[in-house]
Amino acid sequence: MINNKRVYPDKPTKVYFFGTCLVDLLYPEAGVDGMRLIAREGVKVIYPQNQTCCGQPAWNSGYREQARAVARQQMSCFPNNHPIIVPSGSCAGMMRYHYPELFKGEREETTVQAFAQRIFELTEFLVHVLKINRQDLGKPIKVALHTSCSARREMGVAEEHERLLAQLENVEIAQHMRKEECCGFGGTFAIKHPEISAAMVEEKSDALLQENPERVISGDCGCLMNITGHLKQRESRLRGQHIASFLWERTNATDS
Amino acid sequence: MQQTVDFQNRSHNALGDPQIRKNFRSAMDGLIQKRRQAFPEREALEQLRWKGEKIKANALSKLPALLAQLEENCVKNGIQVHWAETVEEANHIVLDIMNRHDAKQLIKGKSMVSEEMDLNHFLEQHGIECLESDLGEFIIQLINEKPSHIIAPAIHMNRLQVAKLFNEKFPEIPYTDDVDTMTRNARDILRRKFYEAPVGLSGVNFAVAETGTLCLVENEGNGRMCATVPQVHIAVTGIEKVVEKLSDIPTLLRLLTRSATGQPITTYFNMINAPRQSGEKDGPKEVHLVLLDNGRSRIFQDAELISTLRCIRCGACMNNCPVYARIGGHAYGTTIPGPIGSILEPQKSGLDELGDLPTASTLCGACAEVCPVRIPIPKLLNRLRFEKNRTDETGSVKGAGSGREWKEATLWKLWQILHATPPLYRIGVKIITRLRGLMPTQLGPWTSVRKAPRIAKKSLHELAQEEGFDHE
């Protein structure tokens, strides 16, 4: 699962943005802010309107044929050879590592392998390709960072998340207990094994709350939906935010 | 499926038991910490894991030949080799050896294969007393429980629970909850048994084909006692434990002990080559090796799933698993619990019986990250989820296709149509965003501990258009 450090291309003139279905429906501002962060660096961002979902839910539930049909549809949205930026470690991991598995032995096998090489998780793209470093314009704030398991272990971009937050002068990162541990989301896991999932999100939230942060930042909306959904249930005032929105808020002159 | 209900019930009970939660959490935290300290350099660890993977993958690639070579060399050394296709056969082999010696007592070192065989139960039905001599196994045998962890079988109990148990079972010994004193007391009881038992049994960690050597890793010295004090020693193991060369052992041993308990090496490391030779003063007069298949050769046939058989039984995957750490080993209801158990056991018993264990994971990847032989556990969990639901008849996995339910399959089909038809998807999203006020606040199990997520006013599709991030 460990990502061997990849070689990054030079800054391109155009990129595609794959927003993900969770962002589309629940956190669209994270998608918009992700695109703004890229566009601000002088790169044209294209958001194909025919995109839907990467297919991960079916893939992880063992419904490969259904996942393949949906994956095919996504790949048809990105015909030109531009990088494809995904604001989620989990969906990026699906497209980068699991598409080639999903199409193994299919006639598109080689095309899919080439497609997978064009997938970048947002934070790795910001750090390694765009090399962004903007001034923090916000007031001092203490935040906790929850890096999703796929961002950490599959895409290997936990350090990139930390590096982006560390660039922000007035932001203090609270280090919470067992920060490498899963929040208990796991897609259909949360539905199939709700009690185990509940125990996991409860403990994750305890660990976060213990550090008394003002916000929880994550690069994955699945984790955010899980953790903040539970925090609201507990009537905690701690709110969550996607890392793209947080970065935009802190560095954009008119927004802060 | 009944087993789903059983798993849910057992995990429900475990989650509701604060003592279990605390015992596992603190024990697992400790083991995680120790492993981490044992591998201070990331790069060196990765190199070592690569090497471990290569050694085990190589051995599996020539498994039939290596097993034949192992048998040949064992026999040359004077070790009697027995083959068992099923646990019934393996149990009868052990029973026959016991009967031949008219033996009524068996002293056992720790062996997960003997757990797989349910050997104690079987022998007891035939009037033979089995005594576990590993401290953890000794403890759980007193209360007739199964191991909750493969290297620390009584990890679900803490010091005070063990002290109370010893006090109940051995009222003649004064109460103590001091670990060293309790250990000494257990040793005294066991020491007497070692002299009485005519047959000793142990597992095998690695069996070396080129030399016919059986390697046994342990900390308490009981394994060595089992293999040397009684007149007869029986080693039971799975066929996947064979490795090609003696020079493979240092790498595997280094990985095993560090991954398991964080030790650079265990207190005892035994290499058994032969029974007592003429002129030698000790050692068993007979050594038997029982090689068990029990579904392993079926796993061996699948190019992807074969990596399941690389496992060296260190337990690091369970120590690092956020699910195992909360529900403990007993909830799984299998001989081997945790992530490795969730891929191994359903393949052995069939997906019709244990097909839901592969769903008991968030696929967080912590297991694969620590596995000393780099078994891609999440990938294999995913594969088994697929095998369970597949419709064609080509699946080589036992019970393939048995879990497909038309309701679930229909939902996924609808999901597919919605997400592979962009105009339909966009209309659907538009309707949901416009009707977001009507969304239910209760969403089944999701909202048992969470508030329902709030649908956005406008989707990213719409916002992207408004902001000018257009289609090409």
| DSSP-derived pairing of the beta strands A141-146 and A215-218 | parallel
Q: Of the candidates A129, A150, A165, which is a domain's last residue?
A: A129
Q: For chain B, what is the mean pLDDT?
A: 96
Set of chain B residues whose Cβ sits within 8 Å of the Cβ of A100:
none
CB contact under 8 A, B460 and A19: yes
- Is the domain of A154 the same as that of A62? no
CB contact under 8 A, B422 and A49: yes
pLDDT, tens digit, 9 for 90 and up, residues B238-271 = 999 999 999 999 999 999 999 999 999 999 999 9
- Is the domain of A108 the same as that of A151? no
Residue B81's DSSP bridge partners are: B289
Q: For chain A, what is the mean pLDDT?
A: 96
CB contact under 8 A, A232 and B432: no
Which pLDDT belongs to residue A256? Answer: 42
Q: Tell me what ipTM this predicted complex has.
A: 0.96
Helix (H, G, I), strand (E, B) or coil at A136: coil
- Would you state the structure tokens that stand for residue B373, as one six-digit string? 């032989």
Which pLDDT belongs to residue B395? Answer: 76
Q: What is the longest distance spanned by two Cα atoms in chain B?
A: 92
Phi–psi pair at B115, nearest 5 degrees: -70, -40
**Domains in chain A: how many in total?**
2
Q: Residue B3 pLDDT more than 90?
A: no
Mean pLDDT of all residues in B370-384:
98
Cα–Cα dist A197/A191, whole Å: 8
Q: Phi-psi bin for B374: left (phi > 0), alpha (psi -120 to 50), beta?
A: left
Please report the residues numbered 165 through 184 in chain A whose beta carbons come closer than 8 angstroms to any beta carbon of chain B: 180-182, 184
Cα–Cα dist B465/A122, whole Å: 20
In chain A, count of helices (H) and strands (E)? 14, 8
- Would you state the structure tokens that stand for residue B360, as one six-digit string? 């008991």
- Rounded to the nearest 10 degrees, the angle between the axes of helix B42-61 and helix B63-77 is 80
- Is the domain of A178 the same as that of A99? no
CB contact under 8 A, B471 and A46: yes
**CATH number of the domain within which A239 lies:** 3.40.50
Order the strands of the A239-242 sheet from edge to edge. A171-174, A141-146, A215-218, A239-242
pLDDT, tens digit, 9 for 90 and up, residues B421-466 = 999 999 999 999 999 999 999 999 999 999 999 999 999 999 999 9
Residue B217's DSSP bridge partners are: B269
pLDDT, tens digit, 9 for 90 and up, residues A190-242 = 999 999 999 999 999 999 999 999 999 999 999 999 999 999 999 999 999 99
Better-predicted residue by pLDDT, A256 or A10: A10
> Would you mind telling me the total number of residues written for chain B in this entry?
472
- Is the domain of A59 the same as that of A165? no
Residues B60-294, CATH architecture: 3-Layer(aba) Sandwich (3.40)
Q: What percent of chain B has pLDDT over 70?
A: 99
A25 lies within 8 A of chain B by CB: yes
- Would you state the structure tokens that stand for residue A143, as one six-digit string? 């935040």
- Is the domain of A165 the same as that of A232? yes
Q: Would you say residue A31 lies in a domain?
A: yes
Q: Residue B1 pLDDT more than 70?
A: no
- Is the domain of A147 the same as that of A123? no
- Identify which of B322, B327, B382 has the shortest CB distance to residue A181: B322
- Is the domain of A91 the same as that of A120? yes
Which pLDDT belongs to residue B393? Answer: 73
Cα–Cα dist B205/B242, whole Å: 9
What residue segments make up the domains of chain B, in order of their start? Answer: 1-38+316-404, 60-294, 406-466
Give residue A35's domain range: 14-129
CB contact under 8 A, B382 and A196: no
Which pLDDT belongs to residue A1? Answer: 42
Please report the residues numbered 97 through 156 in chain A whose beta carbons come closer than 8 angstroms to any beta carbon of chain B: 101, 149-150, 152-154
Q: Would you say residue A56 lies in a domain?
A: yes
Which pLDDT belongs to residue A4? Answer: 58
Dihedral (CA of B379, B380, B381, B382) sign: positive
Cα–Cα dist A160/B284, whole Å: 59
- Is the domain of A19 the same as that of A119? yes
pLDDT, tens digit, 9 for 90 and up, residues B162-184 = 999 999 999 999 999 999 999 99
Cα–Cα dist B278/B223, whole Å: 23
Q: Residue B471 pLDDT more than 80?
A: no
The 3-class SS string of B76-118 reads HHCEEEEEECCHHHHHHHHHHHHHHCCCCEEEECCCHHHHHHC
Q: Would you say residue A5 lies in a domain?
A: no
Q: Of the candidates A129, A161, A191, which is a domain's last residue?
A: A129
Please report the residues numbered 294 through 333 in chain B whose beta carbons come closer than 8 angstroms to any beta carbon of chain A: 322-323, 326-327
Mean pLDDT of all residues in B338-361:
97
Q: Would you say residue A9 lies in a domain?
A: no
Q: Residue B160 pLDDT more than 90?
A: yes
Give the type of residue at B166.
F
Q: Of the candidates A129, A164, A184, which is a domain's last residue?
A: A129
Which pLDDT belongs to residue B470? Answer: 77
CB contact under 8 A, B422 and A51: yes
Cα–Cα dist B328/A199, whole Å: 13
Please report the residues numbered 408 through 427 in chain B whose beta carbons come closer than 8 angstroms to any beta carbon of chain A: 408-409, 412-413, 415-416, 418-422, 425-426
- Is the domain of A125 the same as that of A212? no
pLDDT, tens digit, 9 for 90 and up, residues B76-88 = 999 999 999 999 9
pLDDT, tens digit, 9 for 90 and up, residues B69-112 = 999 999 999 999 999 999 999 999 999 999 999 999 999 999 99
Mean pLDDT of all residues in B277-291:
95
- Identify which of B361, B388, B429 has the shortest CB distance to residue A62: B388
pLDDT, tens digit, 9 for 90 and up, residues A31-83 = 999 999 999 999 999 999 999 999 999 999 999 999 999 999 999 999 999 99
Q: Smallest CA–CA separation between B18 and chain A, in Å?
A: 12
